[in-house]
Structure 1
Amino acid sequence: MNHGMTASVETTISARVGRSIQNANCVVMVPPKEFGFNAETAADNEFQHQVALDASAVKSKAMAEFKAMVTGLRKSGVQVIEFDYPLDGEETPDAVFPNNWFSTTHDGAFYTFPMACKNRQREVRPQALIDSLNAAGRHVVATDNLLSYVEQGAFLESTGVMVKDHINKTIYAALSQRCEREALEDYAKRIGYHRVVSFQTALPSGHPIYHTNVMMAIGEHFAVICSEVIPEYERRFVIKSLANSKQVIDISLEQVNHFCGNILQLETVNGGKVIAMSKSAFDAFTPAQKQQLATHGKLLPFDVSTIESIGGGSVRCMLGEVFLPTRTTEL
């Protein structure tokens, strides 16, 4: 691979036969050991809220929510890799949202991304995560990164800002200070995705959505999107692009506020489909929307209300998809 990738040929790898192109059957989750209100990210994340709880109570509630979600996913047949990290004095209150700083591909590539906030840049521990992935039988063949963009003041927060249609090799992205167009198009070229559908968004405040995955999700045969936050001149194009191959489920801004856009379709070890979401999202979907979604997989709601309210992110943000192949034989 180009762009300074380092490759290893010491291991023969193979993807499981019949494995989904769109859905991962393995995720990385990070325990919220230092979880709390992040004033740095709150500057452009309108979904964060301060609460009247002391720091220890917040961490305790967040950890309980995290553990219940890990248990629930594993019981449903999704492999979960818990990526722990040492406390070093510099807190990382948003470490529970690992999907923003890395991504992986079916051909074994591991990418590292430029994060906008200083205290989120401290979360980026590529070698430690690669070691954990390898230990779990998920093999990293090559690495690449876009960290040089930080020096230019340009950022691209991985699957927070990019919602990928892997089947059609298309990336959807709401532009913001966390999603810079040049970095976005550079990454798309690196992974061989031929289409980038980028667009503007506006909340009632006039500010853009901080992360695309708060208002949009793509599964194998469906897409959830809040079209009302997209300007009309771009809205029709985005919807038409999705509708070419997906059942489009349009959600309201009120539903976005309950994280109905922050959901993720996953594959189980036996090839079944599940859709992970928060309890607040599940409760906010209409009966008709739940019925539509249920045709695409078992709905798995998790109560992550503390993490949602204080962190401004939900279930999808807590899941770093692992598409890496599994190791089969050592040469």
Structure 2
Amino acid sequence: MLQPKNHSQFHSDVAQNANCVVMVPPKEFKFNAETAQDNEFQNQSSLSDDQITQSVMSEFNEMVAKLRQEGVQVVVFDYELGNVATPDAVFPNNWFSTTEDGTFYTFPMACTNRQFEVRPDELIQQLSLAGRMVTQQDSLVAYQEQNAYLESTGVMVIDHINRTIYAALSQRCDREVLEDYAQRIGYERVVSFQTSLPSGHPIYHTNVMMAIGENFCVICDEVIPEYERRFVVKSLAKDKQVISISLDQMNRFCGNILQLETVNGDKVIAMSQSAYDAFSPTQRNQLSSHGKLLPFNVETIENIGGGSVRCMLGEVFLPARTHTL
């Protein structure tokens, strides 16, 4: 395992937005009973397995095509099937992350069947073919032996410009692993907090309740206890336009959005059609000032998988050899 990097290795002009993403086809997609134990966004379906597969593959392919049409580089990681099914492979942002210096990180996943999604060698090969260079690897997967987990940008919503990581603590977000990762990437500030849903349980992933763009953030702050809420919102409001969403809007995945850049540097904001429809006209106007809104119909993936558009996008900050789409 590599030693944590020294802060001096990093540059101040860190990009907030990626112009390249990894997407994984949902060819084994179905209701995951293991993750449903703490993911209240998942729902059983009356559709047959074949109907589900046909629907989610259509949603996936349309999203890939539209992102590419807008000028976002999409690396489709079509992995080989293994002995253990990976029904949530369509949400790759939970097991890896990348940094601008060319480092590829892998993370400890809380659910056993999701641990089989972690295929760094195969993905790095695909990234290389797409012109994205990995110069070194680092892994926090060993924490799984301690039953300590950190599901990457599912549980960490990162303000790269201010080197700050926001994270809702839960079974899938261990404070010790969180602090370790922050040290490794040279980000001195971690804002961790508790959350509580009406059920009394915490949010399973931070990225369903908040998103951070270059100059804005979306947050369902009502799920944060009042004694922590003010601090979190004040921290965000220092240099971001804060767009507060309700619990109902969060349940329709308004927090699960992602600002990206095209290869030409234009800003776009990816979200589901459900989220787009749930934002008020005022909120849509606010968001539109930060980039073109790109709504995608991923209704089946959302309802059964309990994750939305942002969860489907693994950001790639690796240096580019070419601009291959």
Q: What range describes the TM-score normalised by the shorter chain of this pair? A: over 0.9
SS in 2 for 1:271: coil
Contact 2:14–2:160, Cα closer than 8 Å, also in 1: no
Q: 1:281 is matched with which residue: 275, 281, 303?
A: 275
Q: Structure 2: how far apart are the matches of 1:297 and 1:40?
A: 36
Render the CA deviation track for 1:115-163: whole Å, top value 9, x for unaligned. 0001000000000000010110000011000011000000000000000
- Counterpart in 1 of 2:161? 167
The residue identity in structure 2 corresponding to 1:101 is W
1:190 to 184, 190, 200: 184
d(CA) in 1 for partners of 2:152, 2:14: 20
Counterpart of 1:75 in structure 2 is 69
From 126, 146, 149, the equivalent of 1:155 is 149
2:3 matched to which residue of 1? 3
Quick one: distance in 2 between partners of 1:26 and 1:139?
12
TM-score w.r.t. length of structure 1: 0.94
- State yes or no: 1:229 paired with 2:223: yes
* TM-fit CA distance, 1:2: 4.0
Report deviation, 1:20: 6.8
RMSD: 1.4
Aligned match of 2:297: 303
Q: Which runs of 4+ in 1 moved over 6 A?
A: none
Q: Which residue of 1 aligns with 2:122?
A: 128
What is the match of residue 176 of structure 1? 170
Q: How far apart, CA to CA, are the structure 1 residues paired with 2:14 and 2:46?
A: 43
Q: What letter is aligned with 2:3?
A: H
Among 187, 203, 206, the alignment partner of 2:197 is 203
- Does structure 2 conserve the Cα–Cα contact (< 8 Å) formed by 1:263 and 1:275? yes
Distance 2:223 2:119 in 1: 34
1:184-205 CA-to-partner distances (Å, cap 9, x unmatched) read: 0000000000100000000000
Quote the Cα distance in structure 2 between the aligned partners of 1:43 and 1:109: 33
Which sections of structure 2, spanning at least 5 residues, go unmatched? Answer: 6-10
Deviation track 1:232-273 (CA, whole Å, cap 9, x = no partner) reads 000000000000010000000000000000000000011100
How far residue 89 of structure 1 moved from its aligned partner, in angstroms, is: 3.1
- The alpha carbon displacement at 1:283 in A equals 0.1
Give the secondary-structure state (helix, strand or coil) at the position aligned to 1:323.
Answer: coil
CA contact (8 A) 1:20 1:267 kept: no
TM alignment of 1:1-331, pairs within 5 A: 2-3=2-3, 21-327=15-321
- Deviation of residue 90 (structure 1)? 1.3
Point out where structure 1 has 5 or more consecutive residues left out of the alignment: 6-14
SS at match of 2:308: coil
Secondary structure, in 3 states, of the residue corresponding to 1:327?
Answer: coil
Contact map agreement 2:298 2:308 (CA 8 A) in 1: yes
Shift of 1:4: 8.4
Distance 2:3 2:273 in 1: 41
The alignment's TM-score, normalised by the length of structure 2, stands at 0.95
